[in-house]
Amino acid sequence: MNLFLDTHILLWWLDDSPNLSDTERNAVADPGNLIVVSAAVIWEIRIKQALGKLEIPADFYPVIKDQGFELLPISADHADAAGGLPMHHRDPFDRMIIAQAGLEKLSIVTRDNVFKKYDISILTT
């Protein structure tokens, strides 16, 4: 399975949070699954850190890279697709995640119920 981690799921995974369901935890841990993290997710985390809304360790990015996840850059195609999405979700980072998942045929791991309003695959827990 090709899975795309939403921001909160990535943070919960890295923190070994009990907020992760068994389904989510097992899916991310399964070596048979491709786990994708978007540049948009890293960008969102860094912005929240800079605004004082999130505390993360200084080695945050190297830790992500050491997880063995595939890092997905943002392309012009992704930007165009995000701009063309219906306005169900107003968060620009989430809109980018939705657009990337759709174009790249990835199933999003998220708890954000607004994502269900889009024609994308979501890992259900």
Q: What range defines the domain where residue 91 resides?
A: 2-122
**Rounded-to-integer distance, Cα 93 and Cα 44, Å:** 7
pLDDT of res. 124: 80
What is the tally of structural domains in the chain? 1
pTM for the structure as a whole: 0.93
pLDDT digits (tens, 9 = 90+) for 64-114: 999 999 999 999 999 999 999 998 988 999 999 999 999 999 999 999 999
- CATH number where 113 lies: 3.40.50.1010
